[in-house]
C-alpha cells in the first residue's frame, strides 16, 4: 500500500525566512513566513496538532459547537433542545468522527428513519416528520461545511421521500357543533380539559400557547385573553413576534375561564402545568365522547380558521387572530381544502348580486348556536325566540323546543339586523 503523503511539509526557505506547506480538503496552502527555522518547526508542530484535531472531531463535538451556534443566533432554548434531539436520532449509531460520514452512511440513516417502526406508535414516521428530520440534518451539515469541518455536505444528494400533508384533519360543521356541545356540558361540570378544547376551537390557539397561559392573561373581567411573552420563563416565548396578540373571548366561554382563574395568583398557569401534548390528548378524548372523528388540537385551530373564513371574516383578520403575519399561510395550510375557492365564489357572487345580504352581516342577528342549549335545532341554532341573547342556555324560562315550532325562515325574519348594536358574532 502506498504511503499517505504528509499533511504538512517544510520548513522551506522563503524570502528572508521560512514557511510551511499543508493540504486541507485536497488543496495545498502555505503558512505566513516566519524569521527562523526554529520558529517554523514550532509552527509545524502546532499545525499538525490542529489538523489532527479536525480529523478527530466527533459527531458529538460538532453537536456541541452547533448548539452554541444556535443559541448565539437567538434561538429559543426549547427549540435548540428539540433540534439536538432530532439530530441525535437521525445520526444514531454513528461511532466514527464527523469527517468519516459518507454519502452512503447518510442515505442509510435516512432510509432507516423512513422505514423503522417507532417505539411509541409501532408505525414508521409520517412523511412530514422524517422530512423535517432530514431538513434539520442537512442544515447541520451545511453549517459544518461552512466551519471547515467538512469538505462537502454528504446529505446533499439525499431527497425526501413521501408526500407532505398540508394542514391537519378537520371536522365538518355539524361535527364541530357536536364536539362543542359535549365539551361545553363537560366544562360546566368542572372538566378543565373540556375548557381547553373549547379555547382551542373558538380562540384558535397553538397548543404551546394554551399550556403557557397565565391567570393574568385573562383580562377585562374575562372578556379579553392576551397571548404574550412571559419573561420569567424562557419556555413561554412565542413562536413568532406576530403570535403576540389579544383575543376577544366569546360570552359563553367567559364564566368558564373566570372559574378556572378564581382565587389564584396572576403568575399561575391558567390550565395548570402540562406538556404541549396535553391539548391533543384532551381533544381526542372529547372527540371520542362526542362520537366524531378524532382530530388534534392543531386541527381545531385550522377548523376555527376555516369556519371564520367561510362565515365571511376578512382573511387578514383571521390571519392576525391565528398569530400569522399574513393570510397566505392561513389559506394555504390552515384552512380546509376548497376554502380559497369558496371565498372567490363569494366575491364573484357579491359582485354580480350587490344587493344580496352578506352572511357575515346576518351572523350577529341570527339565533346563536349555543353549545349545550336544550333547544338546539337541526341547524345547530337555538329555536327559542330569545336566543339572540347569550344567556339563553342559562335561562330556566326557555320553553321546550316543540312549543316554539319556528321555521328557519321565520327565525330569520325575527332577527333581521336592527339599528341597535349587534350581538356578539358567533364562532360558527
pLDDT band at residue 140 using 50, 70 and 90 as cut-offs: very high
8 A C-beta contact, residue 227 and residue 245: yes
Of the listed ranges 78-92, 311-325, 408-422, the least confidently predicted one is: 408-422
Considering the entire predicted model, what is its pTM? Answer: 0.53
Spatial strand order in the sheet of 17-24: 8-14, 17-24, 27-30
- State how far the Cα of 210 lies from the Cα of 279, in Å rounded to an integer: 8
The answer to whether residue 136 scores a pLDDT higher than 80 is: yes
Which band of pLDDT confidence, cut at 50, 70 and 90, is reported for residue 411? very low
Q: How far apart are CA 162 and CA 127, in angstroms?
A: 5
Model confidence at 417: pLDDT above 60: no
pLDDT in tens, 261-307: 999 998 999 999 888 789 989 999 999 999 999 888 877 777 767 76
Predicted pLDDT of residue 353? 59
pLDDT exceeds 50 at position 380: no
Alpha helix (H) ranges present in 313-407?
A: 315-322, 327-329, 339-352, 359-363
Q: What is the model's pLDDT at position 143?
A: 94
C-beta of residue 98 within 8 angstroms of C-beta of residue 59: yes
How far is the C-alpha of 72 from the C-alpha of 65, rounded, in Å?
11
Whole-number Å distance between alpha carbons of 17 and 24: 23
Amino acid at each position: 500500500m502506498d504511503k499517505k503523503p504528509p499533511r504538512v511539509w517544510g520548513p522551506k526557505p522563503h524570502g528572508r525566512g521560512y514557511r510551511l506547506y499543508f493540504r486541507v480538503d485536497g488543496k495545498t496552502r502555505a503558512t505566513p513566513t516566519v524569521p527562523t527555522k526554529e520558529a517554523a518547526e514550532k509552527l509545524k508542530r502546532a499545525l499538525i496538532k490542529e489538523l489532527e484535531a479536525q480529523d478527530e472531531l466527533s459527531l458529538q463535538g460538532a453537536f456541541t459547537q452547533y448548539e452554541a451556534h444556535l443559541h448565539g443566533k437567538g434561538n429559543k432554548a426549547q427549540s435548540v433542545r428539540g433540534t439536538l434531539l432530532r439530530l441525535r436520532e437521525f445520526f444514531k449509531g454513528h461511532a466514527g468522527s464527523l469527517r468519516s460520514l459518507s454519502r452512503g452512511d447518510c442515505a442509510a440513516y435516512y432510509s432507516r428513519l423512513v422505514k423503522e417502526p417507532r417505539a411509541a406508535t409501532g408505525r414508521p414516521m409520517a412523511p412530514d416528520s422524517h422530512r423535517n428530520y432530514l431538513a434539520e440534518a442537512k442544515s447541520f451539515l451545511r453549517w459544518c461545511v461552512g466551519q471547515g469541518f467538512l469538505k462537502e455536505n454528504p446529505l446533499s444528494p439525499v431527497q425526501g421521500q413521501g408526500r407532505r400533508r398540508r394542514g391537519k384533519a378537520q371536522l365538518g360543521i355539524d361535527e364541530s357543533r357536536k364536539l362543542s356541545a359535549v365539551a361545553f356540558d363537560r366544562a360546566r361540570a368542572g372538566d378543565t380539559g373540556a375548557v381547553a378544547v373549547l379555547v382551542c376551537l373558538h380562540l384558535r390557539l397553538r397548543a404551546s400557547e394554551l399550556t403557557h397561559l397565565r391567570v393574568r392573561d385573562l383580562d377585562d373581567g374575562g372578556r379579553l385573553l392576551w397571548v404574550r411573552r412571559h419573561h420569567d420563563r424562557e419556555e413561554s416565548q412565542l413562536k413568532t413576534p406576530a403570535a403576540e396578540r389579544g383575543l376577544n373571548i366569546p360570552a359563553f366561554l367567559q364564566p368558564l375561564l373566570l372559574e378556572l382563574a378564581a382565587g389564584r395568583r396572576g403568575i399561575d398557569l391558567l390550565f395548570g402545568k402540562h406538556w404541549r401534548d396535553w391539548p391533543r390528548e384532551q381533544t381526542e378524548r372529547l372527540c371520542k365522547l362526542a362520537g366524531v372523528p378524532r382530530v388534534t388540537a392543531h386541527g381545531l385551530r385550522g377548523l376555527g380558521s376555516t369556519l371564520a373564513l367561510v362565515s365571511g371574516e376578512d382573511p387578514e383578520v383571521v390571519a392576525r387572530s391565528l398569530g400569522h403575519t399574513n393570510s397566505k399561510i392561513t389559506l394555504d395550510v390552515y384552512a380546509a381544502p376548497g376554502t380559497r375557492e369558496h371565498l372567490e365564489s363569494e366575491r364573484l357572487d357579491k359582485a354580480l348580486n350587490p344587493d344580496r345580504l352578506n352572511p357575515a352581516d346576518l351572523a350577529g342577528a341570527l339565533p346563536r348556536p349555543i353549545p349545550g342549549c336544550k333547544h338546539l335545532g337541526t341547524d345547530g341554532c337555538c329555536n327559542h325566540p330569545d336566543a339572540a341573547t347569550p344567556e339563553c342556555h342559562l335561562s330556566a324560562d326557555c320553553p321546550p323546543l316543540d312549543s316554539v315550532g319556528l321555521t328557519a325562515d321565520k327565525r330569520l325574519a325575527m332577527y333581521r339586523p336592527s339599528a341597535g348594536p349587534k350581538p356578539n358574532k358567533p364562532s360558527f
